[in-house]
Amino acid sequence: MSSNINNVAVIGTGVIGVGWIIRCLAHNKKVVAYDKELKLEKKLVSEIKRTWPYVKKLFNKKKLNLKNFKYITSIEEALKNADFIQECATENYAIKTKLMSIIGKYAKSNAIISSSSSGLLPTRIYSKCVNPARTMIGHPFNPVYMCPGVEREALHIVNEGYASTKDLDRAIEDGPGLRWSLMGIFLTYHLAGGKKGMKHMLEQFGPALKLPWTKLKAPKLSKKLSSRVIKGTSQQAKGKSVAMISNIRDEYLVNLQKLRKKYENKIRK
């Protein structure tokens, strides 16, 4: 994240929102988190503290500075000083479009507005946002605080001159190359659902499967298919808690990235 960005507002404190908060704190940004319920703050701080030993190892940080973090339930207050705004609401056009209308109204005119959307169209998300030229999609790899890559559309980006093929290869190395080598896509999404697991993820992101991501038509998310996926990921978890699996994953990613650095110079010369 640019050194010119000092104040970050994260709107929504689910799994992805928490990940953005931790990532920004690790890079010494001042973070204001917004959500509707005050009771969510305790859970949020608990997750920040759980992840910090791994973040500390990866980024060589001495200590967690929670003075850079503030949780509030007023969206207007959260936005007023933000240089960068990361929206992390549910994957739903109605919710995101309404939220972006509010964000555009209260954000500074030069603030960058980003949405952690998996497959929704930015033209619709930002259709009611003031000054949509300052907006973008910033869909991260999970866990956000461990995987530095953020998804981009490769061919479009090369074609329009935004990045080279080398840049895109780096993005793959820093994103799915790290994440999926450990436990596969389904268990990764099971983790992203938190305590509610895969059932929660399917309910939240299921509608986005109908969007035309590829020429391959997505299967109908039937009760039978949902049950198969939920049962399968539960069996993969083998009775381990979300926190336990998350700790194993985070320790793995820290050690993997440190090991990789030993060979990066040889590969990238």
Provide the domain count of the chain.
2
Does 15 reside within a domain?
yes
Q: Are residues 190 and 107 in the same domain?
A: no
| Whole-number pLDDT of residue 127 | 95
Tell me the average pLDDT across 126-142.
90
Does 179 reside within a domain?
yes
Q: Are residues 126 and 205 in the same domain?
A: no
CA angle 209, 244, 180 (to 5 degrees): 40
Residues 149-171 pLDDT 10s: 766 765 556 566 777 766 766 67
Q: Are residues 97 and 206 in the same domain?
A: no
Phi-psi region of 249 (alpha: psi -120 to 50; beta: other; left: phi over 0): alpha
| Helix, strand, coil percentages for the chain (3-state, nearest 5) | 55, 10, 35
Does 1 reside within a domain?
no
Integer Cα distance of 115 and 138 in angstroms: 5
Does 189 reside within a domain?
yes
| Whole-number pLDDT of residue 153 | 60
Q: Are residues 88 and 150 in the same domain?
A: yes
The more confident residue out of 198 and 46 is 46
Q: Are residues 151 and 204 in the same domain?
A: no
Q: Are residues 22 and 95 in the same domain?
A: yes
Q: Are residues 70 and 90 in the same domain?
A: yes
Answer with the one of 141, 162, 183 that is the final residue of a domain: 162
Does 33 reside within a domain?
yes
Q: Are 95 and 14 in contact (CB under 8 A)?
A: no
Tell me the average pLDDT across 48-64.
89
Answer with the one of 162, 188, 209 that is the final residue of a domain: 162
Tell me the average pLDDT across 182-210.
56
| Whole-number pLDDT of residue 186 | 47
Please name which of 150, 242, 149, 152 lies closest in space to residue 189, comparing C-alpha atoms.
242
Position 178 confidence tier, pLDDT thresholds 50, 70, 90: low
Q: Are 25 and 71 in contact (CB under 8 A)?
A: no
Q: Please give the C-alpha separations between residue 7 and each of 3, 69, 105, 107, 138, in angstroms, as whole numbers.
A: 10, 10, 18, 12, 17
Q: Are residues 179 and 254 in the same domain?
A: yes
Q: Residue 61 sits in which domain range?
A: 7-162
Does 11 reside within a domain?
yes
Position 80 confidence tier, pLDDT thresholds 50, 70, 90: very high
Integer Cα distance of 40 and 226 in angstroms: 28
The more confident residue out of 266 and 250 is 250
Query: For residue 124, what is the enclosing H or E element?
Result: helix 122-125
Tell me the average pLDDT across 43-56.
93
Q: Are residues 20 and 146 in the same domain?
A: yes
| Whole-number pLDDT of residue 63 | 84
Position 182 confidence tier, pLDDT thresholds 50, 70, 90: very low
Does 252 reside within a domain?
yes
Position 231 confidence tier, pLDDT thresholds 50, 70, 90: confident
Integer Cα distance of 199 and 230 in angstroms: 6
We report the CATH number of the domain holding residue 124 as 3.40.50.720
Q: Are residues 134 and 257 in the same domain?
A: no
Does 75 reside within a domain?
yes
Mean pLDDT over each residue of the chain, to the nearest integer: 81
Ranking 63-77, 80-94, 191-205, 254-268 by mean pLDDT, the lowest is: 191-205
Query: For residue 200, what is the enclosing H or E element?
Result: helix 197-205
Residues 23-42 pLDDT 10s: 999 999 999 999 999 999 99
Q: Are residues 150 and 233 in the same domain?
A: no
Integer Cα distance of 150 and 67 in angstroms: 27
The more confident residue out of 24 and 175 is 24
Ranking 4-13, 16-25, 177-186, 199-208 by mean pLDDT, the lowest is: 177-186
Beta bridge partners of residue 113, listed in sequence order: 85, 135
Query: For residue 84, what is the enclosing H or E element?
Result: strand 84-87
Position 64 confidence tier, pLDDT thresholds 50, 70, 90: confident
Answer with the one of 106, 140, 162 that is the final residue of a domain: 162
| 95: DSSP letter | H
Task: Convert 205-238 to b/e letters by CB count within 10 Å (16 or more is b).
Answer: beebeeeeeeeeeeeebeeeeeeebbeebeeebe
170 burial (CB, 10 Å; 0-12 / 13-18 / 19+) is middle
Sheet holding 69-72, edge to edge: 69-72, 30-34, 7-11, 84-87, 112-115, 135-137
Q: Are residues 185 and 154 in the same domain?
A: no
| Whole-number pLDDT of residue 194 | 55
What values do phi and psi take at 222, rounded to 5? -75, 170
- Range among 88-102, 140-154, 197-211, 244-258 rated most confident: 88-102
